[in-house]
Amino acid sequence: MKRKIRKSVFETNSSSTHSLILADVAIFNEWKAGDLCFRPFEERFYAKRDAISHLNLCGEECEEELDDLLRENDFFSREEYAQRYGDFEELYKTPWNDGVVVFGYH
């Protein structure tokens, strides 16, 4: 038996999630170079030292554990983000010729 819930609405039982994030091209390139980390749930970029301070995790003594601590607290490098969420990235120019990178997962 087919049941109609709403008129003229396309519905699916898909549970997939999609996310698009826009970033200034200079900031995105710093992230790709490894100078920044990205926290998806805040949709914010951090310098690695600032991320550690943000979380109050440790001081200078944890330098060798820094990347592990960041990863455990959902701060990702570009490569880690791509491995976890997939790899989608497009460069666009605004009418004012500013570079904007759209990235995310689907």
Average pLDDT, the chain: 79
Structure tokens at 35: 């100078």
The Cα 65–Cα 54 span in angstroms is 16
Chain segment 13-23, per-residue pLDDT in tens: 555 556 788 89
Locate the domains of the chain by residue range.
19-105
Helix (H) or strand (E) run with residue 5 in it: none
The Cα 46–Cα 5 span in angstroms is 45
The Cα 55–Cα 12 span in angstroms is 39
Q: What is the pLDDT of residue 27?
A: 94
Asked whether 44 and 75 are in contact (CB, 8 A), the reply is no
At residue 63, does pLDDT exceed 70? no
Q: What is the pLDDT of residue 3?
A: 57
